[in-house]
Chain A
Amino acid sequence: MLLIKCPFCGDRDELEFSCGGEAHIARPLAENTLTDAEFADYLFLRDNPKGVFLERWIHTDGCRRWFNVARDTVSHEIIEVYPMGETPKTEAAKAAHKASWRRQTAAEAAAKPASPAGRSGS
C-alpha cells in the first residue's frame, strides 16, 4: 500500500486515490499534419518503464484534485509530487521526463503552438 502525499490534504492511504496513468501527454494542435501512426503515439501508446515513471493521480475520496507523481515502478518509492501543468523538479524525475520516448514524437512536436510567423494556413 502506498502512502501518497496529496499536495492539499497531506499523507493519505492509496485507497483514497485513483491513478490516471502516464502524465505529460500533450494533445497535438495540428493533428491534420500527422500520419495515423504518429497520432497513435498520442492517442493509444502509453509508456511502461522499469524505474521512474511520471503519472497523474487524483485524490478521489479526499479533495478530488489532480496532481502529478514521480514513482519508481521497481521500489514503489514516491520521488516527487508536483502540481498539474508543471514539470518535475528532482533530478531523477527530470531525467525520466527527458528520457521518455514521447519527447521525440511528432505528436508532441505538434502539441506546441506554432510561432505566428511559421504558421502555415489554418
Chain B
Amino acid sequence: MASLQNVHGASALHGIAAASSPPPQGSRGAVVMRDTGLLDKINLRCDAGNTVINEALSRVVGTRLPAEPNRFHVSGNRRIAWLGPDEWIILAENGSADTITAGLDLPEAGHVAVNNVSDALGSIILEGEHTRDALAKHCALDFHPTVFTPGIVQQSLLSHAGVTIMCLDDNAFQIIGRSSFMPYIVALLKDAMIEYGYEFQPA
C-alpha cells in the first residue's frame, strides 16, 4: 500500500476567507465563528451498557458513553456525544482516530461498529452573546439558556442542512455538519449574524 504519510487533508471550509462585519449599535458584541479545522470523528454503534467498550473508552478516550439521550461527555479536548440509543460520535484531535479505533477493536466486545468518519463531517464553533439568537433564526430547536444548556447535544436542521449542535458553554456552540454543506452553513450564519456583528476565522 502506498504511504499516506505525506498526504495532508484540508478543512471542509478550505478556501473560505476570513470575514467580518462590525457590531452595530445596540449589539452585545460580535459573534466569533471559527473553523475548528481538521478534527477526528469516530462513529460508534453498540449497546449503551457494553462494559467492554465503556472500559476501553475510559482508557482510550478518557470518558464513558453518555447513556442519557442528547448528552455529551467531555475529557480534555475530546468528547463523546449521544446520537441515538445505540449510536455515538467521538470527537478528538486530528491524528488520534487510528489510536482510538485500534483501542476499540476488541473481539470480546461483541456487536460493535467503529467507523472513522473524520472526512465526512466539518465543524465550526460559534462564541458570543448573540450566538443563540443567530442559531435560532435557522433552527426550530429551543435555544433558551435554561433549556439548551452546556453538555447538551441535539441533532436537527439548520435551514436545510442536517447538523449536530453541541452547547459547550453558556454562549458557545459547536456545529458539526456534512463537509459538503459546511460552506452553505457558514454563508447562512454570516447572513444571520450581520445584525449582531460577526467575525469568521478560518482554520
| A binding-site residues for B, Cβ under 8 Å | 8-10, 12-13, 15-16, 61-65
Taking CB atoms, residues of chain A closer than 8 Å to B85 are: 8, 63, 65
Chain B residues near A62: list those with CB within 8 A: 154-156
Q: Are B157 and A9 in contact (CB under 8 A)?
A: no
Residues of chain B lying within 8 A (CB to CB) of residue A61 = 155-157, 162
User: Among A8, A12, A62, A65, which residue has the most Cβ atoms of chain B within 10 A?
Assistant: A62
* Alpha-carbon distance A114/B85, docked complex (angstroms): 33
Q: Which residue of B lies closest to A15 (CB)?
A: B157
- Chain A min CB distance to B154 (Å): 7
Question: Nearest Cβ in chain B — how far from A29, in angstroms?
Answer: 26
A65 and B155 alpha carbons, distance in the complex (Å): 12
Min distance, Cβ B82 to any Cβ of chain A, angstroms: 8
> B70 touching A9 by the CB < 8 A rule?
yes
Task: Say yes or no for B110: interface residue by CB 8 A criterion.
Answer: no
Contacts of A64 in B (CB 8 A): 84, 87
Asked if B104 lies at the interface with its beta carbon under 8 angstroms from chain A, I say: no
Q: How far is the CA of A61 from the CA of B154 in the complex (A)?
A: 10
Instruction: Write the chain A residue with the least CB distance to B163.
Output: A61
Shortest Cβ distance from A62 into B: residue: B155
Q: Which of A12, A15, A63 contacts B83 (CB 8 A)?
A: A63
* 8 tightest Cβ-Cβ pairs between the two chains A and B: A63-B84, A13-B140, A61-B162, A62-B155, A61-B157, A8-B69, A8-B85, A65-B84
Contact mask B106-144 → A, CB, 8 Å, 1/0?
A: 000000000000000000000000000000000010000
- Taking a contact as CB atoms under 8 Å apart, the answer to whether A12 and B156 are in contact is yes
How far is it, in angstroms, between the C-alpha of A9 and the C-alpha of B156 when the chains are bound?
10
Distance in angstroms from A32 CB to nearest chain B CB is 34
Contacting residues, chain A, for B156 (C-beta < 8 A): 12-13, 16, 61-62
Give CA–CA (A64, B85) in the complex, Å.
Answer: 10
CA distance A62 to B156 in the complex (A): 5
**Could you say which of A8, A10, A15, A63 contacts B140, with CB atoms under 8 Å apart?**
A15
A62 to chain B, nearest CB (A): 5
Contacts of B154 in A (CB 8 A): 9, 62
Q: Are B155 and A9 in contact (CB under 8 A)?
A: yes
Contacting residues, chain B, for A63 (C-beta < 8 A):
69, 83-85, 87, 155
Q: Give the CA-CA distance A8 to B69 in the complex, in Å.
A: 6
State A86–B173 Cα separation when bound (angstroms): 38
Indicate if the CB atoms of B70 and A10 lie closer than 8 Å: yes
Q: How far is the CB of B71 from chain A (nearest CB, A)?
A: 12
Q: Are A16 and B84 touching (Cβ within 8 A)?
A: no
Residues of A within 8 A of B69 (CB): 8-10, 63
Instruction: Please name the residue on chain A nearest to B142 by beta carbon.
Output: A11
- Interface pair A16/B70, CB less than 8 Å apart: no
Q: How far is the CB of B97 from chain A (nearest CB, A)?
A: 22
A13 to B162, CA, bound (A): 13
